[in-house]
Homo-oligomer: A and B are copies of this chain.
Amino acid sequence: MDKADIVKAIMDEIEKKQSPAKAAPQNPGQICGLTEFVGTAIGDTIGLVIPNVDNNIQEKLGIDKKYRSLGIVGARTGAGPHAMAADEAVKSSNTQLLKFEMPRDTKGGGGHGCLIVFGADEVSDVKRAVEITLATLPGFFGDIYMNEAGHVEAQYTARASSVLAENFNAPLGKAWGLLSACPAAIGMVMSDTAVKSADVEVVMQCSPAKGTSYSNEFIIMFSGDSGAVKQAAMAGRDIAVQLLATLGSKPTSAGTPYII
């Protein structure tokens, strides 16, 4: 084996380690005896519960006293997939979303991480919400495409629930889509292409100086007829992936694409 072979083998290892979402450890069988621990998932995501939150902390967080139990999901990489998964979780559990915060993170990438807090009266309810979030999360990484220069994200739902409605202007029970690209410049062409491809209404728009935590992303969210929303998400995603490819290698999905 010669030097070039070895260098290539190692550089491949490094690429794998540096790709933020792909590199995320997933330890479903991780042994952790703590009752607060629920599980982990892609993106350095951790799921936790506090069965009976301390009054002092509850007050500092401005959380209503009726939410004695908190479910917590946080990640280094990803906010869009987590918003989608949390939306499913609230739909299917007796909980309320109390916080959705977006640190400027992604371990050197250009996007966000997240901190999500669910509240309920019973610990079994928040635990269920955290479990659903962790279980559905990998699916929502399917339309995240990355290379060494940036990323493209598409999300789509036929029926938005309260998490998307309260945080991202989705009309409750209606179709809603999200497109995001880094570097942000790509996101502008992506957005223009998306809204021209189908009859959708832009309900929210973010850029490095507006609505993000100074991430290097241009983001649009849109609603409309479910076919139109899906069409717009696909059109925007496809042009953005082509543009991102001009800055490096072919962007690859962090999971299995679901918007098809």
Stretch at the interface among A89-97, A135-143, A170-178, A180-188: A180-188
Taken residue by residue from 1 to 38, chain A's Cβ proximity to chain B (1 for < 8 Å, 0 otherwise) reads as: 10100110111011001000001110100101010110
Indicate the member of A70, A76, A182 with the most B CB atoms within 10 Å.
Answer: A76
Say whether A195 contacts B149, CB under 8 Å: no
A74 at the B interface (CB under 8 A): yes
A144 at the B interface (CB under 8 A): no
Complex interface residues of chain A between 91 and 125 (CB less than 8 A to chain B): 99, 101-105, 107-110, 113, 115-117
In angstroms, Cα B243 to Cα A47, docked, is 10
Number of interface residues of A (CB under 8 A): 89
In angstroms, Cα B25 to Cα A183, docked, is 13
Say whether A202 contacts B57, CB under 8 Å: yes
In this complex, what residue of B is CB-closest to A14?
B14
Taken residue by residue from 64 to 105, chain A's Cβ proximity to chain B (1 for < 8 Å, 0 otherwise) reads as: 000000101111100000000000000000000001011111
Say whether B191 contacts A57, CB under 8 Å: yes
A192 at the B interface (CB under 8 A): yes
Say whether A27 contacts B247, CB under 8 Å: yes
In angstroms, Cα B205 to Cα A61, docked, is 8
A254 at the B interface (CB under 8 A): no
A248 at the B interface (CB under 8 A): yes
Collect the chain B residues with CB atoms within 8 Å of residue A6's CB: 3, 6-7, 10
In angstroms, Cα B72 to Cα A212, docked, is 19
